[in-house]
C-alpha cells in the first residue's frame, strides 16, 4: 500500500513545509501556503515511465563518450534560431505565454509540418477541436502526427510505448496529473511531479518534449519556480493579442544562446514567419514627422532596425510625466538628465512619452543616441531624415560610446536602404568604411550630433 502524508506548499515559489506558515521563509509572501496530500510510492508500484531503471556508476570525464547527435530541424526558421539550431534529442522545452497568444497554434503547426512521428497530447481540447484547428491551418494533413486527449501521465506513457514517437508535445503541463500525488491538477506538487516524470522519460528514451505552460497575472510562469530550473529550455511567447505580431524569446537555453528572438505574424491559417522583422518595425508614413528616429539594435545574432517615437509637450498638470513603452523607464530618466545637464535642453517642465514601434522591448544601450535625437526632434519640432539611423551609447558626460558588433548594424542599415548612420568615432577602429556604400558619420559628443541635425 502507498502511504499518504500532508504537506504544505507555497503557491508562489513552491517552498515545502511540514506545517502551515503564515509567511513563506523563501519568498516572504503572506498567506500563500496550501495543504496538499502527497502519496508515497511503495516498492511494488508500477514504474511511472515504463522504462527500465538504469544503474549508473561514476566515470572519469575523459571516459564519457561524447557522440554528437544531430538536432531535429523544426522546418521553422524562427524556432530553429531561438532553440540554437534545432531540437536537441532528449531535451525538454517549456513554452509559456498569455492566453490566446498562439502557443497551441505554434505547437500544432510544428506537429503538422514535421516528417517525424509526433504525439500531440492535449489536456485542454478534445480530439475534434484539434482536428478543426488543424484543418484550418493545413489543407493536407500528414500521416505522422498522432493526437491524444489525456491528462493522466501514466496513460500518456502507456500510449507513448505503443506509438514510440520521435517528439512529444504536451498542452499544457498545468492540466496533467499523476497518481503518485494526491492533489488536484495544476497544483504545485502536481506540476512538479508530472514534469519530473516527463523529464525522466525524455532523458531515458532520448525523446524531446515540448511543454506548454500557463502564466500568472504577474507574467510569471504558473507553478513552482523549480519548474524553470528542471527543464532545458524556457521560451516566452510575447505580444498583444489585439495585434498581429508575436515575439518568441529565449529566457533559458542549455544548448544555445539566450539572447535570440523570433518574430511571427498571426494569420487566419496560423503563424507566419517574419524573415525580415526590420520592415515591420519601421512604420510607413507620409510626410515628415518630428520625434521619429531609427535605431540599430542587435537581438542575439540578428540586427534589427527599430523605429522610436517620442512626444514632448508642456506639463499640463504641474508634475511632468515620464512614460515609456518597450524601453527602460530608469534609463529614459537618465538620458533626460544628461540632455538637461550636458546639452542645456529644458526638459524639467515637459511631459515625455517614448514608444518602441512594433511592440518590441529593447534593452540595448546602442539605442541611446536614437532615443535622445527623437526626444530633441519632438521638443524642437524639427523632423529627422527617414534615411538616417543611429547606433551609439550615451555616457553620463554626454559623450558617445561605441557599441558591439557595429559592422552588422551598418550592414543591416545599408541593406534596408538607409543613406547615413551616426556612430561614435571610437568605433572606427578596425572598421573598413570602403566596403560600405552607406555614409558613416562618426561623432564624439552628443552636442555635435545635434548641431549636425538641428543646426
- 96-116 burial by CB neighbour count: b if 16+ within 10 A, else e? bbbeebbbbbbbbbbbbbbee
Q: What is the pLDDT of residue 311?
A: 96
Q: What is the pLDDT of residue 39?
A: 59
- Grid coordinates belonging to 327: 524601453
Between strands 33-40 and 181-182, the pairing is antiparallel
Indicate the burial class of 144 (C-beta count within 10 angstroms; 0-12, 13-18, 19 or more): middle
Angle (CA) 293-296-301 rounded to 5° is: 155
pLDDT digits (tens, 9 = 90+) for 390-403: 999 999 999 999 99
Q: What is the pLDDT of residue 50?
A: 47
Q: What is the pLDDT of residue 334?
A: 96
Which residue do the cell numbers 502524508 mark?
A: 5
The parts of the chain modelled with pLDDT lower than 50 are: 1, 42-46, 48-52
Torsion angle of the four alpha carbons 115, 116, 122, 127, in this order, in degrees rounded to the nearest 10: 50
Coil, strand, or helix at residue 27?
coil
Q: What is the pLDDT of residue 440?
A: 95
Tell me the C-alpha distance between 410 and 430, whole Å. 14
Q: What is the pLDDT of residue 242?
A: 67
Q: What is the pLDDT of residue 8?
A: 86
Q: What is the pLDDT of residue 65?
A: 77
Tell me the C-alpha distance between 181 and 186, whole Å. 12
Q: What is the pLDDT of residue 449?
A: 95
Tell me the C-alpha distance between 40 and 436, whole Å. 67
Tell me the C-alpha distance between 22 and 57, whole Å. 43
Q: What is the pLDDT of residue 49?
A: 46
Amino acid at each position: 500500500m502507498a502511504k499518504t502524508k500532508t504537506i504544505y506548499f507555497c503557491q508562489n515559489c513552491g517552498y515545502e513545509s511540514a506545517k502551515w506558515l503564515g509567511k513563506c521563509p523563501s519568498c516572504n509572501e503572506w498567506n500563500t501556503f496550501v495543504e496538499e496530500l502527497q502519496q508515497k510510492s511503495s516498492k511494488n508500484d508500477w514504474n511511472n515511465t515504463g522504462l527500465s531503471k538504469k544503474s549508473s556508476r561514476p566515470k572519469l570525464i575523459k571516459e564519457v563518450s561524447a557522440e554528437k547527435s544531430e538536432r531535429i530541424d523544426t522546418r521553422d526558421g524562427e524556432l530553429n534560431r531561438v532553440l540554437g539550431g534545432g531540437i536537441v534529442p532528449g531535451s525538454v522545452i517549456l513554452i509559456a505565454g498569455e492566453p490566446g497568444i498562439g502557443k497551441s497554434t505554434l505547437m500544432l503547426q510544428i506537429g503538422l509540418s514535421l516528417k517525424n512521428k509526433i504525439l500531440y497530447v492535449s489536456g485542454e481540447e478534445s480530439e475534434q477541436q484539434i482536428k478543426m484547428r488543424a484543418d484550418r491551418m493545413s489543407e493536407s494533413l500528414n500521416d505522422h502526427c498522432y493526437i491524444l486527449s489525456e491528462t493522466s501521465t501514466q496513460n500518456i506513457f502507456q500510449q507513448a510505448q505503443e506509438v514510440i514517437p520521435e517528439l512529444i508535445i504536451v498542452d499544457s503541463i498545468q492540466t496533467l496529473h499523476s497518481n503518485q500525488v494526491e492533489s488536484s491538477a495544476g497544483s504545485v506538487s502536481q506540476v512538479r511531479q508530472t514534469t519530473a516524470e516527463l523529464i525522466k522519460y525524455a532523458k531515458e528514451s532520448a525523446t524531446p518534449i515540448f511543454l506548454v505552460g500557463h502564466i500568472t497575472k504577474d507574467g510569471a510562469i504558473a507553478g513552482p519556480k523549480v519548474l524553470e530550473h528542471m527543464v532545458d529550455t524556457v521560451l516566452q511567447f510575447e505580444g498583444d493579442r489585439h495585434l498581429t505580431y508575436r515575439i518568441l524569446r529565449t529566457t533559458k537555453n542549455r544548448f544555445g544562446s539566450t539572447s535570440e528572438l523570433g518574430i511571427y505574424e498571426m494569420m487566419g491559417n496560423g503563424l507566419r514567419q517574419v524573415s525580415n522583422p526590420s520592415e515591420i518595425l519601421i512604420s510607413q508614413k507620409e510626410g515628415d514627422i518630428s520625434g521619429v528616429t531609427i535605431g540599430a539594435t542587435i537581438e542575439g545574432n540578428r540586427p534589427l532596425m527599430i523605429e522610436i517615437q517620442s512626444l514632448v509637450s508642456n506639463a499640463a498638470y504641474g508634475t511632468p510625466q515620464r512614460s515609456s513603452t518597450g524601453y527602460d523607464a530608469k534609463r529614459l530618466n537618465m538620458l533626460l538628465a544628461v540632455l538637461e545637464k550636458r546639452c542645456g535642453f529644458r526638459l524639467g517642465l515637459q511631459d515625455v512619452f517614448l514608444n518602441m514601434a512594433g511592440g518590441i522591448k529593447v534593452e540595448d544601450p546602442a539605442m541611446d543616441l536614437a532615443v535622445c535625437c527623437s526626444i530633441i526632434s519632438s521638443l524642437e519640432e524639427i523632423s529627422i531624415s527617414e534615411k538616417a539611423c543611429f547606433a551609439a551609447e550615451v555616457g553620463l558626460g554626454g559623450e558617445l560610446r561605441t557599441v558591439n558588433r557595429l559592422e552588422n548594424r551598418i550592414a543591416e542599415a545599408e541593406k534596408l536602404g538607409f543613406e547615413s548612420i551616426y556612430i561614435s568615432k571610437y568605433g572606427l577602429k578596425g572598421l573598413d568604411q570602403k566596403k560600405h556604400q552607406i555614409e558613416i558619420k562618426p561623432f564624439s559628443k552628443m552636442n555635435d550630433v545635434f548641431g549636425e541635425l538641428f543646426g
